[in-house]
Structure 1
Amino acid sequence: MIKWEGVMPAVTTKFTNDDTLDLAMFEKNIKAQIDAGVHGIILGGTLGEASTLEQDEKETLIKKSLELTDGKIPVIMNVAEQSTKGAIGAAQQAEKVGANGLMLLPPMRYKSTDYETVAYFKAVANSTTLPIMLYNNPVDYKIEVTLDMMEELLECDNIQAIKESTRDITNVIRIQNKFGDRIKVFTGVDTLGLESLVIGAVGWVAGLVCAYPAETVAIYELVKAGRIDEALKIYRWFMPLLELDISPQLVQNIKLAEVATGIGTENVRAPRLPLQGAERERVLKVIGTAMKNRPELPEYKNINSVV
């Protein structure tokens, strides 16, 4: 069982200078996420450079995350494959290694029809007992999970949540109006995080949380407590950083931010390369300005605890 709510970072994968997994820095980052109060860890997403990871590396990351979280929060593995067979294999292997849940993308590279997309999702869901969060991002992946498609997909009991990244936040309300609590809606776009939470999203699959876990969780907890003005103050400061997430170079951007906060390195895996030239200077300026004006956070960790 996963409690589908709260801030779940789509964590970056840390690499050494020799292009192997940097488990020491990975551990430092995950510990910072846990200390800040995140509600789950998502591995191997776009930010995690999933398409460049080998199967044994994915298994290593799952095992290390399970060790660090120690059962306190769920470890969720992303599944993004080109074939249904490959996705089923990846889901089953993640379950075997011990992952607590899955985030499931539509087929990669091929723009499947609605019928094919539903068949793909159902085949994967029916191949595992793990709870699943669907990832709905037609902007980047050109495939939208519509309400009609969701209705079919919810025949699978283990499809329980959706990462809503259409950029149309009213979709949060549409999904909840149609399905109630049957499917838990997370926002998946950093620059729409606060707004989506205010109108009813139960959680936030976040990117800049990788570098700024406390600020991200504080916004969530303050919104949940109805302290919108305090959350908005942090969010206004955060927005120039959050805009670094909606870029093809989001991995490089966020890894630069992790360097600034001391919980990451700039190493990426080719074909990605560190930012160069004017774009690098622009991103460093955004990060530098934010670091100079980093807000003092209110005590947020226990404000929603039931006494």
Structure 2
Amino acid sequence: MKWQGVFPAVTTKFTPHDELDLEAFKSNLEAQLEAGVSGIVLGGTLGEASTLEAEEKYALVRAAAGYVTGKVPVVINVAEQTTKAAIEAAQKAADNGASGLMMLPPMRYKADDKETVEFYKATAKSTELPIMIYNNPVDYKILVTLDMFESLAECENICAVKESTRDITNITRMINRFGDRFTILSGVDTLAMESIVMGAKGWVAGLVCAFPAETVAIYNLIQVGRIEEAREIYRWFMPLLELDIHPKLVQYIKLAEQETGLGTENVRAPRLTLAGDERAHVLQIIHAALANRPQLPDYKDLQA
């Protein structure tokens, strides 16, 4: 498995009756594959993981794995409160067809450095699936430090990091210390181009759910050194990308999916669909972007 390229953190599609909408889910996957993404990430923050029942998560894994049929890897997020539950989640992910895991540190309890490392190690040793550490201290209050990565390096299947510290210099520090031992993927849409230029090999993206072609085009253009072309698309994209760093990113991005014909705005309570001035404001951003959507170059077959 290569942790490289654009990995959409896809939304979970719901019917108006609050059931999984697997047809809408597969339709969005089709658009992602057509745009040229390199993998699929399920059950993250954007996937409303905290509201999903365990069986719903694995139904999504089975549906995604069955639909992509090996074209790209399917990664499921592991966000558990106990080590025992994380090990069980890793096993069930493998049983249901996942290609890899994205792992958050322990939920709710703010584990110290040693506890966090042991949580990751125990889970890694229980599975053969490759693991991407989700390093997001801003939202989840635990920073995986370079010293912690030094200890985690003994687990061969811990091989990537979703870099969401919001500190671009952390990419250079990781590379200076570990070389290519851990593959770095950008986890923040508004810092993605900067992160890739500084050495990130991939992008776990949010707005790709609604704008897959533009996202992959930026990534591919950077790979072949066509920086100015990538930058122009990125500048157009920025007002949309900023929707990904708001507490209501799920509602915002689902509304964008609806406006681009790639989903609906159905969310699971306690989230509610947008209304009033807030909805009008987000629609204004989306419609302004659609009115000025850039003409993309032939980006799919670019060779570095």
Q: Does residue 166 of structure 2 align to residue 167 of structure 1?
A: yes
Name the counterpart of 1:47: 46
**Which residue type is aligned with residue 257 of structure 2?**
E
**Which residue type is aligned with residue 118 of structure 1?**
V
Spell out the pairing of 1:291-302 with structure 2 (5 A cutoff): 291-302=290-301
Q: Does residue 243 of structure 2 align to residue 244 of structure 1?
A: yes
Q: Does residue 45 of structure 2 align to residue 16 of structure 1?
A: no
Name the counterpart of 1:153: 152
Question: Structure 1 stretch 49-58 or stretch 208-217: which is displaced more?
Answer: 49-58
Give the C-alpha shift of residue 276 in structure 1: 2.1
Name the counterpart of 1:193: 192
Q: Does residue 101 of structure 2 align to residue 102 of structure 1?
A: yes
Name the counterpart of 2:120: 121
TM-score normalized by the length of structure 1: 0.98
**Which residue type is aligned with residue 227 of structure 2?**
I
Unaligned runs of 5+ in 2: none
Give the Cα separation in 2 of the matches to 1:264 and 1:199. Answer: 33
Unaligned runs of 5+ in 1: none
Give the Cα separation in 2 of the matches to 1:25 and 1:304. Answer: 32
**CA-based RMSD:** 0.7
Give the Cα separation in 1 of the matches to 2:62 and 2:92. Answer: 12
Give the Cα separation in 1 of the matches to 2:58 and 2:139. Answer: 26
Give the C-alpha shift of residue 32 in structure 1: 0.2
**Which residue type is aligned with residue 162 of structure 2?**
K
Give the Cα separation in 2 of the matches to 1:217 and 1:108. Answer: 32
Give the Cα separation in 1 of the matches to 2:120 and 2:130. Answer: 13
Give the Cα separation in 2 of the matches to 1:278 and 1:85. Answer: 45
Name the counterpart of 2:183: 184
Q: Does residue 231 of structure 2 align to residue 254 of structure 1?
A: no
Q: Percent identity?
A: 66
Aligned length: 304
Name the counterpart of 2:264: 265
Give the Cα separation in 2 of the matches to 1:54 and 1:108. Answer: 16
Q: Deviations over 1:110-161 (max 9, x none)?
A: 1110111101111111111100000000000000000000000111000000
Spell out the pairing of 1:30-109 with structure 2 (5 A cutoff): 30-109=29-108
Give the Cα separation in 1 of the matches to 2:303 and 2:276. Answer: 45
Q: Deviations over 1:18-46 (max 9, x none)?
A: 10000111011000000000000000000
**Which residue type is aligned with residue 251 of structure 1?**
V
Q: Deviations over 1:42-61 (max 9, x none)?
A: 00000000011111111111
Give the C-alpha shift of residue 277 in structure 1: 2.0
Give the C-alpha shift of residue 178 in structure 1: 0.6
Q: Does residue 222 of structure 2 align to residue 223 of structure 1?
A: yes
